[in-house]
Structure 1
Amino acid sequence: MKYECILFDADDTLFDYGMAESHALIHAFAHFGLPTGAQEYAASYQEINHGLWKELEQGQITAAALRVERFNRLFAAHQLSLKPDEFSEAYLRFLGEGTFLIQGAVEICGELAGCRLAIITNGFKHVQQARIKGSPLSEVFEEIIISEEAGYQKPETGIFDYAFAKLKLSDRRKVLIVGDSLTSDIRGGNNYGIDTCWFNPLGKPGDPEILPTYEIGSLDELVEIVNRA
């Protein structure tokens, strides 16, 4: 077996972030007296949030600023008299309850039990830890590498240095990263010199400047890759 360690991205690779986000928005808006707020403002929030996470990847904003700024921009755009910092706190609390999994996540981790498995994710420490701990995958991973704790986020090489140190890894040829984001997971893995597997269940178009070692449309395809390699 070529790969001794599999680094899994969390959101939209093993965990269904869309469902977690929806859960958090519904409950946070309801908590502040706007029971239809998620339905009315979810699309706008997602656009703002996506843009800010791209800025984070590019080093244009800090994670601490992002967690509040997304709601600051959302409430300003829709003239909502809510306090962004208080809303953010409630939202993150509810987001931590979002333990929804991608189809096949439990099964693939079982199939790869012969490998060392770890999570490497951008996100907030207490939220990601709560989601993983509350899920059926709570006992699966040897380490959970979270950008807020590492001090770097994918695609920065620093988070991979941190992961390799935590896992006591040295041979990059024996490590595979699996993730849904070309700009974060695949670019980060490519830059660090480890093999990459793009999880692309929706068949999104690729980027000729960011080429993964492998591409899969379902998690069960990963077994063949690992066994074949």
Structure 2
Amino acid sequence: MPDPVGLFDLDDTLIRRRQVFERWAVEFSAEHQVPLEWLLKTDPAYSSRRTEFFELVKATFGVRPDVPELHAQYRRRMPELVEPDPQVCALLTGLRQAGWRLGVVTNGMVDNQTSKLRRAGLYDLIDTVVISDAVEIRKPDARIFHHALTRLGAEPGRHVVMVGDSLENDIAGAHRVGLTTVWVSHGLALPGTALRPHHTIRTVNEAAALLMERKA
């Protein structure tokens, strides 16, 4: 049987993006007098549309500077607010010691995503990192998963596990490639119309027991 391979999403899977955003929002609210509650409430709908988010912030509250600079400041600051999670570090370390080959497959910009991984203490625990900005392919496109597997010297199959929080980008995308899927639900119920993942866990830390059991 081929050696097991674990692919992980980054934001809201290995890194708690919402917690990092909350730290940023506290700072931004104090500096620009934008209500913190508004920032936290508005964020989820624009989590992958940051330019539109800052356009809305500026239109609603008239903050300065202009939108491109607000976005640039955000991109610089967010990775700086990432903090290591000892449990996630232990998860990846344990999997590597058990013979798993590990990869990260993430949508985002190279500088941001790489900085987050380094700040979180995860970069050196991963065998390969595939970032959409670098390969010009975004999840859920099947090609980005194939790209990661090629780098790891692996073939698609159920011995490859994709762990992520997005039912569309991570779960549906990996299903199309024939991978085993693990949905990080954060306690949310599975929508009735959603493609069903093979496994569901509340947080990424629960992946350790599940993946070690597969290895055994």
TM-score under structure 1 length normalisation: 0.81
1:70 corresponds to which residue? 53
Tell me, yes or no, if the aligned pair for 1:23 and 1:94 is still in contact at 8 Å. no
Calculate the aligned-residue CA RMSD, in Å: 2.4
**Secondary structure of 1:132's match?**
helix
Q: Percent of pairs identical after alignment?
A: 24
Which residue of the partner structure matches residue 89 of structure 1?
72
Q: Residue 58 of structure 1 corresponds to which residue in structure 2? A: none
Q: Does 1:170 align with 2:170?
A: no
Query: Which sits farther off after the overlay, 215-224 or 144-153?
Result: 215-224
1:189 aligned residue: 174
Alignment of 1:10-159 (within 5 A): 10-28=10-28, 33-34=31-32, 36-37=33-34, 39=36, 41-43=38-40, 45-50=42-47, 53=48, 66-101=49-84, 104-113=87-96, 114-159=99-144
**For each residue in 1:8-28, what CA deviation from the matched residue of structure 2 results, as whole angstroms up to 9, or x when unmatched?**
111111111012212333445
Is the CA contact (8 Å cut-off) linking 1:157 and 1:188 kept in structure 2? yes
The one-letter amino acid of 2:20's match is A
Unaligned runs of 5+ residues in structure 2 are none
Instruction: Measure the CA separation in 2 of the matches of 1:3 and 1:23.
Output: 39
Task: State the alpha-carbon separation in 2 of the partners of residues 38 and 3 from structure 1.
Answer: 50
Secondary structure, aligned partner of 2:112 = helix
Query: How many equivalent pairs are there?
Result: 212
> Aligned to 2:155, what secondary structure does the other structure show?
coil
Q: Return the alpha-carbon distance in structure 2 between the equivalents of residues 208 and 40 of structure 1.
A: 31
CA distance, structure 2, for counterparts of residue 125 and residue 80 of structure 1: 28
Contact 2:8 2:14 in 1 (8 A): yes
Question: Runs in 1 of length 4+ with deviation above 6 angstroms?
Answer: none
**Counterpart Cα distance in 1 of 2:35 and 2:10:** 24
Task: With the length of structure 2 as denominator, give the TM-score of the two structures.
Answer: 0.85
Deviations 1:8-49 (A, max 9, x none): 11111111101221233344565xx42x43615413540441
Structure 1, unaligned runs of 5 or more: 54-65
Does the aligned pair in 2 maintain the 1:124–1:147 contact within 8 Å?
Answer: yes
Change (3 A) 1:128 1:38: farther
Tell me, yes or no, if the aligned pair for 1:152 and 1:158 is still in contact at 8 Å: yes
* Alignment check: 8 A CA contact 1:48 1:73 kept: no
Contact 1:26/1:37 (CA < 8 Å) preserved in 2?
no
